[in-house]
């Protein structure tokens, strides 16, 4: 009997010693499982929160578009660096999805004469003079300043005939791009097409197939018409500035252009 009681006590001791160890192992396993589930839940909640923010943003944009009648208005500044003048137009543009971008309101426009083609003809090596490039730089940055004051959000511009010929034109435009003025040289074919689109916009009462545009600049001219299914252009590298230079150097006096530059102190 005593031996039996001793065996039972020993068993109870063993059981008592084993239960806490098993309980601790079970608790540790439960904690690991609970932590893993908690991390998974937090990750799911974060994804749902991100999705909710996207939905809210989309709803806000949709409501704003509905209030504007489905329009998305952006104020843009466009620069046109021609061979005889530099121009800017700041306007509100409707970018409504599914339709062609349309100018809804012109804020302001300006034109400043900068005789790039004459400077190119007078200088050696087919290069713009530093003086003329500095003048152009100041004009463009003044345009940009005024555009920003008018609330322009986007800026873009083109350079045409004179820059197509000048050997130092591309480097000048690269520097402007670093300064926040993204201008690029376009081909004469592209210039002709833009001239046609401009005429088409300014004369909406005329059907495109009945329209012929004549774009005469300082260094070139383009006559463009729509010939379905495409369009055709007749182009020459002669403009008002080029004609004036030829008149002075060939018809009147070969030295007159140089003499004029000397009188101006260039």
The boundaries of the domain holding residue 118 are: 73-263
Q: Give the separation between CA 163 and CA 126, rounded to whole angstroms.
A: 10
Dihedral (Cα; 51, 54, 58, 64), 10-degree rounding: 140
Task: Kindly state whether residues 241 and 139 are assigned to the same domain.
Answer: yes
Nearest to 227 by CA among 241, 210, 213: 210
The total of other beta-carbon atoms located within 10 Å of residue 121's CB is: 20
For residue 226, give the 3-state DSSP assignment: strand
Tokens of 78: 């466009």
Residue 86 C-alpha from the chain's centroid: 20
Q: Is 3 a member of any domain?
A: no
Task: Kindly state whether residues 172 and 240 are assigned to the same domain.
Answer: yes
CATH number at residue 116: 3.30.420.40
Task: Kindly state whether residues 59 and 183 are assigned to the same domain.
Answer: no
Task: Kindly state whether residues 144 and 183 are assigned to the same domain.
Answer: yes
Last residue of a domain, one of 19, 43, 70: 70
Task: Kindly state whether residues 151 and 248 are assigned to the same domain.
Answer: yes
Q: Is 199 a member of any domain?
A: yes
Task: Kindly state whether residues 44 and 95 are assigned to the same domain.
Answer: no
Q: Is 16 a member of any domain?
A: no
Q: Per the structure, how many domains does the chain have?
A: 2
Q: Tell me, what's the pLDDT at 247?
A: 61
Task: Kindly state whether residues 156 and 258 are assigned to the same domain.
Answer: yes
CA distances to 70, 79, 151, 168, 194 from 155, rounded to whole Å, are 24, 8, 11, 23, 17
Q: Tell me, what's the pLDDT at 10?
A: 45
Task: Kindly state whether residues 44 and 60 are assigned to the same domain.
Answer: yes
Q: Is 234 a member of any domain?
A: yes
Q: Is 83 a member of any domain?
A: yes
Average pLDDT of each block of 10 consecutive residues along the chain (266 residues)? 49 46 58 73 75 66 51 88 93 75 88 91 87 96 96 93 92 95 91 84 83 76 79 72 59 52 48
CA distances to 237, 250, 258 from 197, rounded to whole Å, are 20, 36, 39
Task: Kindly state whether residues 177 and 118 are assigned to the same domain.
Answer: yes
Q: Is 197 a member of any domain?
A: yes
User: Both ends of the chain: CA-CA distance in Å?
Assistant: 130
Q: Give the separation between CA 184 and CA 134, rounded to whole angstroms.
A: 18
Task: Kindly state whether residues 91 and 51 are assigned to the same domain.
Answer: no
For residue 102, give the 3-state DSSP assignment: strand
Q: Tell me, what's the pLDDT at 13?
A: 42
């Amino acid at each position: 009997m005593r031996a039996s009681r001793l065996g039972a006590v020993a068993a109870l001791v063993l059981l008592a010693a084993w239960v806490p160890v098993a309980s601790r192992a079970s608790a540790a396993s439960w904690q690991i499982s609970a932590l893993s589930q908690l991390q998974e839940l937090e990750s799911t909640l974060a994804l749902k929160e991100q999705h909710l923010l996207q939905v809210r943003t989309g709803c806000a944009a949709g409501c704003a578009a509905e209030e504007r009648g489905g329009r998305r208005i952006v104020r843009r500044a466009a620069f046109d660096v021609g061979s005889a003048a530099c121009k800017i137009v700041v306007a509100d543009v409707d970018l409504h999805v599914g339709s062609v971008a349309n100018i809804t309101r012109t804020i302001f426009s300006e034109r400043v004469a900068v005789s790039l083609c004459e400077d190119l003809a007078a200088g050696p090596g087919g290069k713009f003079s530093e003086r003329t490039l500095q003048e152009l730089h100041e004009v463009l940055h003044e345009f940009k300043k005024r555009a920003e004051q008018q609330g322009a959000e986007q800026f873009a511009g083109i350079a045409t005939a004179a820059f197509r010929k000048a050997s130092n034109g591309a480097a000048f435009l690269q520097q402007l791009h670093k300064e926040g003025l993204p201008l690029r040289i376009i081909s004469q074919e592209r210039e002709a097409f833009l001239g046609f689109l401009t005429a088409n916009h300014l004369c909406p009462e005329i059907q495109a197939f009945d329209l012929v545009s004549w774009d005469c600049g300082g260094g070139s001219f383009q006559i463009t018409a729509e010939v379905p299914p495409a369009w055709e252009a007749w182009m020459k590298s002669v403009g008002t500035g080029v004609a004036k230079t030829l008149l002075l150097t060939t018809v009147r006096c070969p030295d007159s252009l140089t003499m004029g530059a000397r009188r101006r102190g260039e």
